A and B are shown apart, each in its own frame.
Chain A
């Protein structure tokens, strides 16, 4: 292992990892449950559109919904069976809301769909072809945010370094550690595919230094792969190092600009689990239908990591890990820092589910009463985005949200360090989340009101034009009548002409075609 000069990112906290209990066992598997619930919206962007109908039989790995926009991912059936319903079901989301889901009654046969061909030699494929395969397989970032991987792969050219993120910094979560321990070769294969797809010369795989077994396994796999482009770097364990901006800073000393993305400075960051999913998608033609989930906490009898089919209810997952203990009090998805509570365990595992924590009362204590901010500045000391949380807090608390953008609210990664550091127990992160969603809503309202103004003005102009036209018509008529009245002779001539016409028509008699007024 090379240990180049590492940098540090600003702030951060040293947290108790709490992963030991779940890393003792190998990655387990669980049987396919009788019913799978697959939400159509599992990430940012537009929800996917179903391409199956209730009653249709689907095979394991068959696409059942396609993305409706550029930022989107396909959804695949994670086992064979019958689609019984496409309806709203509660989904794992901080809101606890219900959203459209495809429900599959499984038949236990787990019959494979063979629409995507396995491909052992991808050397001839171009970047866009590889990207298309990744997109077809519905691969998304498996670190938790579930951003569609193919979109990230379209992020430009001339990149100098691919970073595979194995720095799992959140307490409790250890699914990437187990993946690296048991499937390091697959991760490396994924890295090689990503390198080829974007013509990147080098790849660094970052692992925190408190995971020696994973490091060992990865070094062994790299020695076997004998690929000089791949390199593993052990980084000190500081929360939130798993954030891509923080990891890039640690590895390269460079900072991703605010409102910018890593490709702007030549880097691309993917989770190690994502790399493994890319390898399976390209080499085996296997879409993203399962993922490794850490099930842990004092409230579960046998904490461990499980390779589970997407759509499996969390209750089945906990059951497979020995069930609940008497201490179970809280159910969280994600880690203890950035996770969110779930209302109940009937919710399905989705692409972004990296960890299920069943915590006891002791592990997650209720917050002490909130005290006034004393402007101690502890929050600014620990903020990894180098923001001023206390300043953001003052504005958010007084609902004076417009200046928050000037204080770079949208650079907040919601890591929760400031919450933990605050001696007054102020729920800072929740204020920032509130302010962010409120500002997005206002932005949305502004777009709508601009549309309404446009339509209102268009209608006003139309009505004015119609009125003007009517007025003009009336005026013309009046003028014509006036002229006729003024010129008696012309009037007489008009009457005579009319009489003549009538006479002529009478003379024509029945032989001519009947007139309109006859």
Chain B
């Protein structure tokens, strides 16, 4: 009887030590779930989800304090991907956070720009180039279309322009499918 207890206790101690060692030795840095959620977000850093960027929103989703349907730039594809990752049901976009719009790029009307640098401070990805009392310009390839530079501009010289479709970015349309049987 005592031998049996000792053996079981010994095994428990052994496994406990092994687990304790593994917990210290193979510790993961950061929260992998947050990283995986963050990888699915569009990185617009626009704050429409009410968090100060994509990473904080990802952290809030992981913590369970925010829902997955608060990202308008990501649209339905992002909601679906998040639902897949977290094994939840996809739901429509929360209208409070905004609406799904085509992707845009900020364009500065350069003759109007007074060089106040307010937009440079607002840009979350450093995509605006300029200095005090110098004309500013947007590096179009780096702009995420977050619109955060539009409001601070004192002379309203920033416009959001839709990206033109080129031969390289054109997509075949989804077939319109008038399913004969479903129409009936």
Contacts and interface: CB of A to CB of B under 8 A. Distances in A.
Interface of A: 41, 91, 93-95, 97, 99, 369-372, 397, 399-400, 402, 427, 430-431, 433-434, 436-438, 441-442, 444-445, 448-453, 455-456, 458-459
Given A372-B179, A456-B45, A456-B124, A91 B167 contact: yes
Given A371-B181, A449-B41, A434 B175 contact: yes
Contacts of A442: 77
8 contacts: A95-B167, A372-B182, A399-B80, A427-B177, A444-B169, A448-B144, A449-B43, A456-B125
Interface in B139-174: 142, 144, 165-167, 169-174
Contact of A369 (B45, B171, B180): B180
A434 B171 contact: yes
Among A95, A397, A442, the most chain B Cβ lie within 10 Å of the Cβ of: A95
B172 A433 contact: yes
Contact of B44 (A95, A427, A434, A452): A452
Interface in B108-161: 124-127, 142, 144
Among A369, A438, A456, the most chain B Cβ lie within 10 Å of the Cβ of: A456
A437 B55 CA distance: 29
Contacts of A449: 41-44, 144
B53 A456 contact: yes
A402 B82 CA distance: 13
Nearest to A94: B172
Contacts of A441: 169, 171
B178 interface: yes
Given A372-B179, A448-B43, A456-B125, 12 more contacts: A97-B165, A370-B177, A370-B178, A371-B180, A434-B171, A434-B172, A434-B175, A437-B172, A449-B42, A450-B43, A455-B126, A456-B43
Where chain B touches its partner, the secondary structure class is: loop
Contacts of B181: 371-372
A441 B165 CA distance: 12
A494 B44 CA distance: 55
Contact of B142 (A99, A400, A436, A455): A455
Where chain A touches its partner, the secondary structure class is: helix
A97 B170 contact: yes
A250 B177 CA distance: 36
B35 to A, nearest CB: 11
A99 B81 CA distance: 34
Nearest to B179: A370
A402 B77 CA distance: 10
Contacts of B171: 434, 437-438, 441
A389 to B, nearest CB: 14
B54 interface: yes
Contact of A95 (B45, B142, B170): B170
Contacts of B178: 369-370
Contacts of B173: 434
A453 B43 contact: yes
Contact of B166 (A97, A437, A456, A458): A97
Given A91-B167, A95-B167, A452 B144 contact: yes
